[in-house]
Structure 1
């Protein structure tokens, strides 16, 4: 049997974005509350009963959140331009050895209804 577990977090950050549509507002520094969810899939370890200890996943996601929260995303190393797509990829790559179990990463902005999902 394969199980899928997930963990969510959020962060507040500012950014700019060069776009053709809604260009003026996007080019100015502006901020959002971002939500992210990471899914890991795998077989349950018979000794622990877990795919992964959620405490370990939470610790890793806390480190990712620290790199993004209350930052200007334009200045975050490895994240450019700061699109929803690139945020999904940034989070996935920041999971290090946990990437082997990665099934999905989703980033969304609840207030705007925007969302992006990266599937593995």
Structure 2
């Protein structure tokens, strides 16, 4: 019998501004504007026999809080390593920032409730 795989996730939110050069909805996008972003990071793996956990959620929360500090109330255009502040790049930025965790992120999801936009990056099959 193979090891049972568990998926644990934690959510956080941040408020941030950005600009975006687009062909459609161009005028409003090119001006500095802001959103409330919601993010969810999921990790997947077997539970450790000694601790009973895949990951200590306190460790995951601390990592997400450190990441939130880099994004919350910032101009995303100026966040080092983010690139163009799209939902796709935000997912990738978060995944890369947490890649050294054990286990690493299996999924990163970003969404904006007010607009109904959502992006999900799956990192494992």
| TM-score in terms of structure 2 length | 0.93
Q: What does residue 91 of structure 1 align with? A: 94
Give the direction of change, closer, same or farther, for the CA distance of 1:49–1:100 in structure 2 (3 Å limit).
closer
- Residue segments in structure 1 that go unaligned for 5+ positions in a row: none
Contact 1:12 1:33 in 2 (8 A): yes
Counterpart CA distance in 2 for 1:80 and 1:67 is 14
Q: What does residue 105 of structure 2 align with? A: 102
Contact 1:42 1:101 in 2 (8 A): no
**1:65-84 superposed matches below 5 A:** 65-84=68-87
Contact 2:13 2:36 in 1 (8 A): yes
1:37 lines up with 2:35 in the alignment: no
Post-superposition Cα deviations, 1:77-110, rounded to whole Å, max 9, x if no partner, equal: 0011000000000000111411743210000001
Which consecutive aligned stretches of 4+ in structure 1 deviate over 6 angstroms post-superposition?
Answer: none
| TM-score in terms of structure 1 length | 0.97
Corresponding pairs, count:
120
- Residue segments in structure 2 that go unaligned for 5+ positions in a row: none
Q: What does residue 21 of structure 1 align with? A: 24
Q: What does residue 117 of structure 1 align with? A: 120
Counterpart CA distance in 1 for 2:113 and 2:31 is 21
Alpha-carbon RMSD across the aligned residues, in angstroms, is 1.0
Counterpart CA distance in 1 for 2:100 and 2:110 is 21
